[in-house]
Each structure stands twice: as structure tokens, then as C-alpha cells.
Amino acid sequence: MALTFVMPGALREFSGGRGEVRVGGAAHTAGEALALLWAECPGARDRVMNERGEVRTHINIFIDGENIRHGGGLAAPVGDGAEIIILPAVSGGQAPS
């Protein structure tokens, strides 16, 4: 199984500068696919996920164009050859405390 992750600029420090990271291995869900990415780019994990294993509030992950928040979250299905895009959400401006 082959997957392609499209990395945002903020994470390329942890992907060796690559905008696209191709990973291989068994993955049936978004969570399993992300685990393959963490093995390839370990520094990306804690930027995308928090300690509770949740995707950070203002990060969106799209599998073949579908936001996983609306399709099962980390249990969202992943097919062979899928393109997975990680993007910061438009909602992420810093509000004064």
C-alpha cells in the first residue's frame, strides 16, 4: 500500500524539506496512515497531535479531499494510493487572552 502525504510549510522542517512524503505499509484508517507518517517524519507527530492522541483543534486532515472530521476522524477509511493533505485551519489566529 502506498500513500502520499502533502505537508504544510510549517512541517517541512520535519520532512527533510519535502512537500510530499510517500509512505508504504498497511493502513486502513487515518490513524494508521498517520502512524506510517510518524515513522518517516517523527517530528511531525507532536505538531499535528496532542498528548491525548487527538488531532489538534486547528489542524485539518483531508483524505482524497474529504476532511476526516466529517468522516470518522482517525477511524476514517484510507484506500490504497490515497493523497492525505495536512493543513492549518483558517480558524487559527491568536486571540488575546
Partner 1 sequence: MPVATHVHPKPGDILLLVGTMKGAFILRAGKDRASWDLGGPYFPGSAVYAMAYDARNGRHRIWAGPNSMHWGGLLRSSDDFGKTWTNPEEANVKFPEATGAALKQIWQITPGRADEADTIYCGVEPAAVFTSRDAGETWALNEGLWNHPQREHWQPGGGGLCLHTIMLDPADIDRIRIAVSTAGMYVTEDGGSTWRPSNKGVRAVFLPDQHPEFGQCVHKVVQSKQKPERMFLQNHWGLYRSDDRGETWTDIANGVPSDFGFPIAMHPAQPDTAWIVPLESDEFRCTPEGRLRVYRTRDAGASWQAMTGGLPQEDAYETVLRDGLTVDALDPAGVYFGTRNGKLFASRDEGESWTEILDGLPPVISVKTAIV
Q: Which positions from 54 through 83 interact with partner 1, judged by CB under 8 A? A: 54, 56-59
DSSP letters of 31-94? Answer: HHHHHHHHHH-HHHHHHHB-TTSPBPTTEEEEETTEEGGGTTGGG-B--TT-EEEEEE-TT-PP
CB nearer to partner 1: give 1 or 18.
18
51 binds partner 1 (CB under 8 A): yes
For residue 33 the three cell numbers come to 496512515
17 binds partner 1 (CB under 8 A): no
Other C-beta atoms within 10 Å of 20: how many? Answer: 11
16 binds partner 1 (CB under 8 A): no
The distance of closest approach from Cβ of residue 19 to partner 1 in the complex, given in angstroms and rounded to an integer, is 17
Task: Please identify which residue in the block is written with the cell numbers 494510493.
Answer: 81
Residues forming contacts to partner 1 in the complex (CB under 8 A) are 10, 13-14, 42-43, 45-48, 50-54, 56-59, 88-89, 92-94, 96-97
